[in-house]
Amino acid sequence: MIQIQFPHLRIIFLSDHTMEVLLFVFYILALGHGSETNIALYKTARQSSIFGVDVASRAVDGDTNSNYQFGSCMHTKPGYGLWWEVDLFGFFEIDRVVVFNRGDCCSDRLKNFTIYVFVNDPHKFVNEKPLFCGDHPGAAGISVTITCQTGVRGRFLRITHYNRGYALTMCEVQVYGDAAPKPSVIFEPQSDISWTASYPVDRSYMYQCNCKCFRTDTCLAFDYNIQSHECQMVDTNTYTPKGEPWVYYGIKKFISTSVCN
């Protein structure tokens, strides 16, 4: 590094190596931590109950106005074990969640809540164990940011609290994270399939269906006909499993080694 000093000016010449290091540091600072795209925006949301017209989609409409009277806050009925969730329509490794509370009154209702992430639709796979993202003890204030634990990856994000007698109200929920590639996955049936024992066992067709879904970025599950060996790719949570002789498979977990060449 060379410095030239004038009365009111200092000129610094940096070596190529020093300049490269500084540019790299500036790049990292500009990049920030995690994605800056709100992946929950305008996605499909639902909640445990609805108070009036304050539906779940109001928390992902892009409006962070904290005044409930302006009609941009979701609101459940009072109860226990209340929840709100959003379908991210894809697999993401969640970095952080920003929750905007009601600000005109009643902000103390949003407290002691927990954020979970599910790989599959928790309403179709009722026994699936969720991944713990993080929680917030005490009241949330006007807004709060919860940073997820490393490696929390899934499609459905749920916010829940167990404050008996209180409603759950949030004016916006922003979710940040990066698209999670499917390095490989293990699928499992949605429900009991003991009835399939009466059919000839030929898993090769099911594995082909498994790998077809694995190779399709938009595939989130598949329905497999154990008689005809037909395969129905599923890319939306609005799909209703067909039932016998179809078996609905969802992702059980992500694994690091591919089973589909």
Which of 1.10.540, 3.50.4, 1.10.10, 3.30.420 is the CATH number of 185-254?
A: 3.50.4
pLDDT band for position 251 (cuts 50, 70, 90):
confident
Given a cut of 50, is residue 9 above it in pLDDT?
A: no
Report pLDDT for 25: 33
Report pLDDT for 206: 87
Q: Residue ranges per domain, the chain?
A: 2-31, 44-179, 185-254
- Would you say the CATH fold of 185-254 matches that of 44-179? no
pLDDT in tens, 32-76: 345 789 999 999 999 999 999 999 999 999 999 999 999 999 999
Given a cut of 60, is residue 29 above it in pLDDT?
A: no
Give the residue, 92 or 203, on which the prediction is more confident.
92
Given a cut of 90, is residue 156 above it in pLDDT?
A: yes
Q: pTM (2 decimals)?
A: 0.73
Q: What percent of the chain has pLDDT over 90?
A: 48
Q: Considering the chain, what is the average pLDDT of its residues?
A: 83
Which of 1.10.287.3510, 3.30.43.10, 2.60.120.260, 3.40.50.880 is the CATH number of 44-179?
A: 2.60.120.260
Task: List residues bridging with 172 in a β-sheet.
Answer: 100
